[in-house]
Amino acid sequence: MAAVTLSVSTVKPLGDRVFVKVSESEQQTAGGILLPDTAKEKPQVGEVVQVGPGKRNDDGSHSPIEVKVGDKVLYSKYAGTDIKLGSDEYVLLTEKDILAIVA
């Protein structure tokens, strides 16, 4: 079986899916207490790095996705598929799992 090398530029989401680079989780609390890896929560904010063409309508056309590459988004906590490329973490989400664009 041949090995496949993936990178961000080779991943193109299909349909209404969005490829998001996960932001780093908090290293310490607001009070300054350092958090061990086991106590850190899964981040819910990331930057959009690739978007699909949009959801296909009944007539065959695509509904455009509301987010674009470079947007910072807030997404559901347990949504999507976690993917690790090199040392970076990504998540592949559907558009409905994105809750908001963060300014």
Let me know the angle formed at the C-alpha of 92 by 89 and 94, rounded to the nearest 5 degrees.
150
Calculate the average pLDDT of the chain: 83
Q: Give the integer Cα–Cα distance in Å for 23 and 11.
A: 19
User: What pLDDT was estimated at residue 101?
Assistant: 93
3-state secondary structure of 39: helix
The superfamily CATH assigns to domain 13-24+41-101 is GroES chaperonin (2.30.33.40)
pTM for the complete prediction? 0.77
User: What pLDDT was estimated at residue 21?
Assistant: 93
User: What pLDDT was estimated at residue 3?
Assistant: 58
Scanning the chain, the segments in alpha helix (DSSP H) are none
Per residue in 52-102, pLDDT (tens digit) is: 998 888 998 888 899 999 999 999 888 899 988 888 889 999 999 999 999
